[in-house]
């Protein structure tokens, strides 16, 4: 009886060792096919622009094609849910940004994932500010003029955003409260569509990441009037911050990083984290980021996870103060 039990235990141990060796071998070979990079916003959006810069570098560093898969909608939840429900093999990763991971849980009635439990952080990729811009068809050239116009025409100005729960949405809500103005929110399925409608005057202003709005600002198609961050951006040194333009204390920054489903092996996470950190030193990436007013970050999975937790707490307090909820 004891002999049979010993044989059984040895067989179990052998199976465990074999399985471990196979897992290690699979991780060592990772990736051996293309990797899907899910972006929870539309093509042409700030997230898409940033993700494609990163995907180019990761393709070079990993030796396999990293393919951007745009999945907009649901206030950023469709794309993030696709990532967290994917097979935990490292072949589906996602663009985890502030809206999808930190803001949604506070303002949407239902989010189909828990950013603190269902998401495996890989590394933070970028941070930056948003730009407040207005349509060329409205007679507004500064934040003070915007506030004055909004107070004289309550509810008539339309604030386009890349969607409910997006950073631009909350930035606009915070601005309205702190400036004491009434401006209507118009959500789109992506920032590109919102900015196109701004050019024709269908909406009048937008808070959008500098990475996606900068070509329109520099091309004169939209009029940037301020930066949402705590200090001026070197890339847009002529634009003041909103705080120094009549709304003291106003500050909104944006960030994003690479995420995976829970269950991806430590070896695969380490491989991806190493690639992200190397990408953050690429001269090509740094040049593109600088042109867009975006700062590279990098770092450990643990540091990115700590950021997500702290931002969840921060925006829960902000949403409660603003009474910001989307039906």
* DSSP conformation class of 241: B
Strands 119-135 and 294-296: antiparallel
Using alpha carbons, select from 169, 293, 308 the residue that is nearest to residue 227: 293
Q: Could you tell me the two tokens for 286?
A: 């740094």
33-127+255-322 against 129-245: fold identical: yes
- pTM of whole model > 0.75? yes
| Confidence check: pLDDT of 23 > 60 | no
Question: For residue 235, what are its two tokens?
Answer: 């890339």
| pLDDT 10s digits, 188-211 | 877 889 999 999 999 999 999 888
User: Which is it for strands 66-70 and 35-39: parallel, antiparallel or unpaired?
Assistant: parallel
Domain residues of the chain, as ranges?
33-127+255-322, 129-245
Instruction: Measure the CA–CA gap between 20 and 18, rounded to whole angstroms.
Output: 5
Across 23-27, 148-152, 228-232, least confident range: 23-27
How does pLDDT run across 282-323, given as a tens digit for each residue? Answer: 999 999 999 888 899 999 999 999 999 999 998 888 887 777
> By mean pLDDT, which of 1-15, 59-73, 160-174, 178-192 is the weakest?
1-15
More confident residue, 305 or 73: 305
At 28, the pLDDT band (50, 70, 90 cuts) reads low
The predicted pLDDT at position 327 comes to: 54
202's CB contacts (< 8 A; 6+ apart) are 158
Residue 12 has pLDDT above 50, yes or no: no
In this model, does residue 170 exceed pLDDT 90?
no
CATH class, range 33-127+255-322:
alpha beta
Fold of the CATH domain 129-245: D-Maltodextrin-Binding Protein; domain 2 (3.40.190)
| Token pair for 162 | 């890349």
**Residue for token digits 């107070």?**
151
Q: What pLDDT is stored for residue 76 in this prediction?
A: 87
- pLDDT for residue 8 is more than 50: no
pLDDT tens track for 258-269 = 999 999 999 999
């Amino acid at each position: 009886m004891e002999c049979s039990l010993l044989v059984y235990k040895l067989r179990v141990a052998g199976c465990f060792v074999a399985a471990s060796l196979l897992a290690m071998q699979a991780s060592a070979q990772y990736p051996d096919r293309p990797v899907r990079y899910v972006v929870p916003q539309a093509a042409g959006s700030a997230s898409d622009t940033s993700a494609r810069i990163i995907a180019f570098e990761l393709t070079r560093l990993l030796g396999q094609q990293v393919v951007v898969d745009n999945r907009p909608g649901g206030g950023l939840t469709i794309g993030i849910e696709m990532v967290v429900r994917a097979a935990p093999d490292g072949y589906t990763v996602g663009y985890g940004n502030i809206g999808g991971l930190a803001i949604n849980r506070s303002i949407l009635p239902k989010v189909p994932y828990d950013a603190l439990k269902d998401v495996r952080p890989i590394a933070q990729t970028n941070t930056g500010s948003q730009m407040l811009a207005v349509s060329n068809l409205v007679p507004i050239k500064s934040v003070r003029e915007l506030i004055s116009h909004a107070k004289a025409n309550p509810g008539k100005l339309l604030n386009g955003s890349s969607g409910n729960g997006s950073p631009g949405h909350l930035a606009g809500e915070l601005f309205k409260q702190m400036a004491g103005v009434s401006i209507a929110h118009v959500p789109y399925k992506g920032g590109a569509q919102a900015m196109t409608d701004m050019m024709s005057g269908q909406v009048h202003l937008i808070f959008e990441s500098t990475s996606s709005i900068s070509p329109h600002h520099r091309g004169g198609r939209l009029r940037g009037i301020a930066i949402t961050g705590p200090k001026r951006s070197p890339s847009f040194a002529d634009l003041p911050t909103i705080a120094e333009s009549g709304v003291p204390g106003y500050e909104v920054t944006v960030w994003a990083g690479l995420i995976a489903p829970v269950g991806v092996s430590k070896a695969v996470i380490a491989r991806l984290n190493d690639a992200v950190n190397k990408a953050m030193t690429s001269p090509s990436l740094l040049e593109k980021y600088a042109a867009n007013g975006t700062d590279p970050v990098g770092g450990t999975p643990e540091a990115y996870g700590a950021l997500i937790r702290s931002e969840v707490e921060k925006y829960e307090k902000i949403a409660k103060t603003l009474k910001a909820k989307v039906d």
